[in-house]
Structures are given as C-alpha cells and as structure tokens.
Amino acid sequence: MTYRVCFVCTGNICRSPMAESVFRARIEEAGLDGLVEVDSAGTGGWHEGDPADPRTVSVLETNGYGSIHAARQFQTSWFSRLDLVIALDVGHLKALRRLAPTAADAEKIRLLRSYDPAAGDDLDVPDPYYGGMDGFEECLELVEAASPGLLTAVREQVEGQVA
C-alpha cells in the first residue's frame, strides 16, 4: 500500500514544490520510492498549471534536486487518499484544517518544521516570493533541516503498514 504525502504552501510555486523535490530525493535515497508518493499543492489556485518559480528551480538545480513541476490547488477530496499533509506555515495549517472534512483528516495535517528538533517555536518556512535569492536559499535550508525527521516519521508509518 502506497503512503501519500502532500506538501502545501500558498501558490504551489515556491515552498511546497521545493519541499516536494527535496523529500522525494530523501525517499529515493532511503529506498522507499514505490512505497511513498510525494506531491505538492497550494491553498490557492492563482498559479495553477504554472511551473515552479524560476528562483525555486535555480536553487533546487544548484543543489542537485529535480525541478519538474506544475502548480495545482489543494482539493478537499484529496484528504481521503492522503496519509500526511504537510503545511509550510501556520497560515496554511489553519487553512487546511478548515478544509478538513473530518477530525481524522485534520489529524493528518502537520507543519514541516515540527519535524526539525532545532526549529524551536518558529515553525514557519518564510515565503521567499517577494524577496531575493537569499530567501529561496534559506527556504531550502529549512526544508532540508526538517527532512530527516519527516523521513523517520514516514518510514515508521510505512514499516507499520508492511508489518
């Protein structure tokens, strides 16, 4: 049975496609591809069908990650097929919880940085869209820092399903 993870930000052109690319690479490195499906979406549909922001693509490619992407808006109906919904900031977390049709669906929603023990109380990945490249580089650093903890949590779930 495939375990499904979806990363969610605002427009699905900066943070969530970056998190999707990084986590997909971690899944492949861990030998879990085929067992875990990773994708992303936005809370809004402003950029639907667009590729990732060129600065996201640049940062990903510079750091050895893939960057093929088409933006899409998160749909309430997806909760039924997703196992984990990863919000990139508290605003996305709240928006997703409002969309969740059941309490069980709301329990599937987590903040990405909650998987980074060094994050402390600052669990938002700041939106780099209106800034320069340094914001995109910081975004990548924060995503990479949270990925090992997320991978551990997902591995535990996947191994629990297989057992």
CATH of residue 53: 3.40.50.2300
39 carries an active-site annotation:
no
Dig out the tokens for 149 from the structure. 């903890």
Q: Per-residue confidence at 161, pLDDT binned at 50, 70, 90?
A: confident
Query: The tokens of 42 are what?
Result: 């936005």
Instruction: State the pLDDT confidence band at 163, using cuts at 50, 70 and 90.
Output: low
**What is the number of structural domains in the chain?**
1
Res 84: pLDDT: 98
Written as one string, the DSSP assignment of 61-87 is HHTT--------B--GGGGGT-SEEEE
For 29-50, the pLDDT digits (tens) are 999 999 999 999 999 999 999 9
Range of the domain at 134: 3-162
Query: Exactly one of 4, 50, 97, 127 is catalytic; which is it?
Result: 127
pLDDT at 1: 85
> Is the four-CA dihedral 64, 141, 98, 91 of positive or negative sign?
negative
E strands, the chain, are 3-9, 36-42, 84-87, 109-111
Closest C-alpha to 4, from 105, 126, 117, 139: 105
Give me the catalytic one of 15, 26, 110, 155. 15
Q: Is residue 67 pLDDT above 90, yes or no?
A: no
Cα Rg of the chain, angstroms: 15
What is the rounded distance in angstroms from the CA atom of residue 144 to the CA atom of residue 159? 23
Q: How confident is the model at residue 108 (pLDDT cuts 50, 70, 90)?
A: very high
Q: Write the pLDDT tens digit of every residue in 136-153.
A: 999 999 999 999 999 999
121 is a catalytic site residue: no
**Catalytic one of 9, 116, 139, 155:** 9
Spell 100-122 as b/e; 16+ CB within 10 A means b.
beeeebbebbbbbbbbbeebeee
24 included as an active-site residue: no
Burial class (CB within 10 angstroms; exposed 0-12, middle 13-18, buried 19+) of 20? buried
